[in-house]
């Protein structure tokens, strides 16, 4: 039995077309994987930058500097530490000192665990803030 050379040529052409199709498919998958890798790398860089900003080992010293500010002397803020948290409490603070304290606290990179504010009257508040150290 003899095989016609045209059938053999047709088989080679079909095999070549199949290989070209598979190569194009592989290129598309590679391009998609590369795009996903670029997105993941960008996300990893962003997460690393956020971690460096929020996981500050100098939290305690920066809070001490904040509490030593002359604007906060009237607030009488007590500082204590428990189980990896820094607790800041004031039983009676005027609004000016409270506004200064919260503005500095919220504009810095601290991880707040708990935050409570109670209004005592029109001019004074009491508050408790727990910050991860």
Report the pLDDT value the prediction gives residue 16, as an integer from 0 to 100: 97
Residue 98 neighbours by CB distance under 10 Å: 21
Report the pLDDT value the prediction gives residue 83, as an integer from 0 to 100: 86
What's the start-to-end Cα distance of the chain, in Å? 86
Per-residue model confidence as pLDDT tens for the chain (133 residues): 788 889 999 999 999 999 999 999 999 999 999 999 999 999 999 999 888 777 777 788 888 898 999 988 888 899 999 888 899 999 999 989 999 999 998 888 888 889 999 999 988 999 999 998 7
Report the pLDDT value the prediction gives residue 1, as an integer from 0 to 100: 75
- The bridge status of strand 78-82 relative to strand 112-119 is unpaired
Nearest one of 126, 122, 130, 116 to 75, comparing CA atoms: 126
Report the pLDDT value the prediction gives residue 109, as an integer from 0 to 100: 81
What are the boundaries of each domain within the chain? 1-55, 59-132
- Triad 108, 57, 116: Cα angle to 5°: 45
Report the pLDDT value the prediction gives residue 27, as an integer from 0 to 100: 98
| Contacts (Cβ under 8 Å, ≥6 apart) of 98 | 75, 90, 125, 127
Helices 95-106 and 59-67, packing angle to 10 deg: 160
Give whole-number Cα distances, 12 to 24, 25, 26, 40, in Å.
18, 20, 21, 41
Whether 56 contacts 63, CB under 8 Å: no
In the sheet that 85-94 helps form, which strands lie side by side, from edge to edge?
78-82, 85-94, 124-132, 112-119
């Amino acid at each position: 039995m003899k095989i016609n050379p045209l059938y053999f040529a047709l088989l080679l052409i079909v095999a070549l077309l199949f290989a070209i199709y598979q190569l194009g498919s592989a290129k598309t998958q590679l391009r998609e994987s590369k795009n996903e890798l670029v997105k993941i790398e960008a996300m990893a860089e962003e997460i690393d930058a956020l971690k460096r900003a929020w996981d500050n080992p100098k939290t305690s010293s920066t809070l001490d500097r904040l509490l030593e500010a002359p604007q906060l002397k009237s607030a009488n803020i007590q500082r204590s530490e428990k189980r990896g948290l820094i607790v800041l409490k004031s039983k009676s603070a005027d609004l000016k000192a409270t506004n200064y304290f919260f503005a500095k606290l919220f504009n810095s990179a601290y991880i707040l665990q708990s935050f409570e504010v109670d209004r005592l009257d029109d001019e004074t508040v009491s508050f408790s803030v727990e910050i991860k150290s």
